[in-house]
């Protein structure tokens, strides 16, 4: 059965991803692919970060003694993997060999207002190498860190106006070095320059959870809490979408909420869900 329409049509690779015997995914809030198209599935389970090849064969488990409460994941151009922990109030950087090399925040300890972190959600990187962390459920801001993890500054505040947030659910950087923020409970995506200056916003986006940018074209993929994946131009023209506003157990639709989304180098899409125990769904671009 095809999903989507126009130039963005996909077929479900049903049953993709084979875990070792006795393992389960749990909820899957985040997924990402590295330069070799290895797929990193970040879940709320006893095995929080597992790695597969593109065909769904299990390769490795990372961070089992570090990761406690999965939320956001990001992989940089050098294949370093950043995991953002919601109730653990921290973000962790792993090198390509799976070794922990940096910790942001104090694991297990929430920060006060203006202090990293209090239920953070996601991470992205500017051209300068500065790290951005969305923080998140309580602090309602985006923090800047130097590449070595030194806190620099923040932007954002509680509210509904430009540059204000009620739930800073994800942060991403496009190829023009602009910062995009999923302001989920305000049902919008806000766009800022690299210094955090407000540019514009997309209104009436159904509770956006995360985004992924096409590396070449001005196209953004959005997963939302209302069981939907949508694909947009940078002018917010909808190019394709499926699912939406109802829980469905049909393969290729969403029995939970679409929460994590990434594409591999072939244009195939991986979508993780919350409110349900797996599976990760892979959609093959036609």
pLDDT tens over the chain, length 286 residues: 899 999 999 999 999 999 999 999 999 999 999 999 999 999 999 999 999 999 999 999 999 999 999 999 999 999 999 999 999 999 999 999 999 999 999 999 999 988 999 999 999 999 999 999 999 999 999 999 999 999 999 999 999 999 999 999 999 999 999 999 999 999 999 999 999 999 999 999 999 999 999 999 999 999 999 999 999 999 999 999 999 877 888 889 898 899 999 999 999 999 999 999 878 999 999 9
CB neighbour class for 204 (10 Å; exposed up to 12, middle 13-18, buried from 19): exposed
pTM over 0.75: yes
**C-alpha to C-alpha distance for 46 and 10, rounded to whole angstroms:** 31
First to last CA, the chain: 12
Q: Is the dihedral of CA 214, 215, 218, 220 positive or negative?
A: positive
pLDDT at 137: 97
> What was the pLDDT predicted at 113?
84
Compute the residue count for the chain: 286
The pLDDT, as a whole number, for residue 249 is 83
Report residue 47 as tokens.
């095995």
Superfamily of domain 2-285: TolB, C-terminal domain (2.120.10.30)
């Amino acid at each position: 059965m095809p999903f989507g329409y126009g130039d963005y049509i996909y077929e479900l690779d049903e049953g993709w991803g084979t875990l070792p015997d006795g393992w389960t995914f749990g909820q899957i809030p985040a997924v990402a692919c590295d330069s070799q198209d290895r797929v990193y599935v970040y879940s709320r389970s006893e095995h929080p970060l597992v790695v597969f090849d593109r065909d769904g064969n299990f390769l490795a488990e990372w961070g089992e003694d570090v990761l406690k409460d999965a939320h956001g994941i990001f992989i940089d151009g050098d294949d370093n993997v950043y995991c953002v922990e919601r109730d653990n109030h921290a973000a962790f950087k792993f090198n390509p060999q799976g070794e922990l090399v940096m910790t942001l925040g104090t694991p297990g300890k929430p920060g006060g207002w203006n202090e990293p972190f209090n239920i953070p959600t996601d991470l992205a990187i500017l051209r300068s190498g500065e790290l951005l962390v969305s923080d998140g459920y309580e602090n309602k801001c985006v923090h800047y860190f130097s590449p070595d993890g030194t806190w620099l500054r923040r932007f954002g505040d509680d509210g509904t106006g430009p540059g204000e947030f009620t739930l800073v659910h994800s942060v991403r950087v496009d190829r023009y070095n602009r910062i995009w923020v999923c302001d989920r409970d305000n049902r919008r995506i806000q766009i800022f320059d690299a210094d955090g200056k407000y540019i514009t916003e997309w209104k009436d986006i159904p509770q956006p959870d995360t985004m992924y940018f096409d590396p070449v074209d001005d196209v953004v993929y959005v997963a939302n809490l209302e069981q939907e994946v949508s694909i947009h131009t940078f002018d917010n023209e909808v190019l394709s979408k499926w699912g939406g506003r109802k829980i469905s157990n049909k393969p290729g639709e969403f029995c939970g909420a679409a929460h994590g989304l990434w594409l591999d180098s072939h244009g195939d899409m991986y979508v993780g869900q919350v409110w349900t125990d797996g599976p990760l769904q892979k959609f093959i671009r036609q």
